[in-house]
Structure 1
């Protein structure tokens, strides 16, 4: 296949994807084209209005980890009231915690990891911090593909608030994108195919995040 034609085929996800039914929230895995479209890490891509979380919940004790649950959340649009994906997860976790507690041994804690297409908005940050105060046995790690409104004071303060609450916030690198495709995507045996500017975008976003977390004056 001619190189120019091949690039058009492999990078078609930059422009859009075919809408598919989303049976429930959370869903076991993310559609292949949804992943490439929504997790593309250009800092300000067009038409990425939704947000997706690939999550894993683990039990931790004495530095060892036991996988408990994993899946994918998207924003809630209908038929119920609209709700951001972070709040969907928190609501689900509160409901599922009773069953999850039965899987843990005494003294074990939860380690929750989010691979999220956009970093949380400032309103969701407040709910996340409140949640962590209520659940002191939960450790939260967030890997974001992109930073949401990183030039806005409220959103920058929100990221610092997460950091101050003990949340490990970082930008997704090649390793996290590959891990997401392997473990959270209907890939049908297809290997992760990185886009040309993945590493450059990741580095630039990491520098921006580091600057936000370090600068307490704005």
Structure 2
């Protein structure tokens, strides 16, 4: 895996700025919980980051695995529908865990709940996730310095996710 620059990480994951695109850091674990693959990617001109992972990075040998995504935005409806209607249906033994940094304003509650019904663990990235991603995916010797709005964003996004998952309007 080629690590990303600190600037790339900040431009995508900083909760105070709209990212230039969706960024996705991933880890794939086998049934023994051994890390077998990791990397990061962003959306292409044609595909969202989630589609790039499914179309270009996912391997047949991973059909029984756990995948962890650290993603800059909550998934859009198009990607959630692709995951629930196609990817997870074809790969029922894949356990998908999604942690997102920011709420994408067009993420619908119905699709979030559909992901959860399919067994996807979806949550907001907390402080430990940002530290972990910085140390795991970023090419730097410097320590991660959280930006000012990280904690308030976490609580606001978690509140949104809890209300969304409960089905409240």
Q: Match for residue 59 of structure 1?
A: 30
What residue number does 2:72 align with? 117
CA contact (8 A) 1:148 1:155 kept: no
Cα deviation, 1:184-210, whole Å, max 9, x if unaligned, reads 1112x1111111221111111111111
Count of residues in correspondence between the two structures: 168
Q: SS where residue 142 of structure 1 aligns?
A: strand
Cross-structure match for 2:38? 70
Q: Contact 1:28–1:70 (CA<8 Å) still a contact in 2? A: no
Greater C-alpha Rg: 1
Match of 1:136 in 2: 92
Contact 2:95 2:120 in 1 (8 A): yes
Aligned-pair RMSD on alpha carbons?
A: 1.7
Offset of residue 158 of structure 1: 1.8
Q: Does the 8 Å contact 2:101/2:125 carry over to 1?
A: yes
State the TM-score, normalizing by the size of structure 1.
0.72
Distance 1:119 1:33 in 2: 21
Q: Secondary structure at the match of 1:180?
A: helix
CA distance in structure 1 between the aligned counterparts of 2:41 and 2:148, rounded to whole angstroms: 27
State how 1:159-178 maps to structure 2 within 5 Å.
Answer: 159-178=112-131
Q: Does the alignment pair 1:180 with 2:136?
A: no
Once residues 31 and 161 of structure 1 are traced to their aligned partners in structure 2, the CA distance between those partners, rounded to angstroms, is 34
Supply the distance in 1 between the matched residues of 2:153 and 2:112 (Cα, whole angstroms).
Answer: 19
SS at match of 1:178: helix
* CA-CA distance at 1:28 after TM superposition: 2.7
Output the CA distance in 2 between the equivalents of 1:58 and 1:174: 22
In structure 2, distance between residues paired with 1:174 and 1:97: 33
Tell me how far apart the structure 2 counterparts of residues 51 and 28 of structure 1 sit (CA, whole Å): 18
- Structure 2 runs not aligned, ≥5 long: none
Offset of 1:60 from its aligned partner?
Answer: 2.2
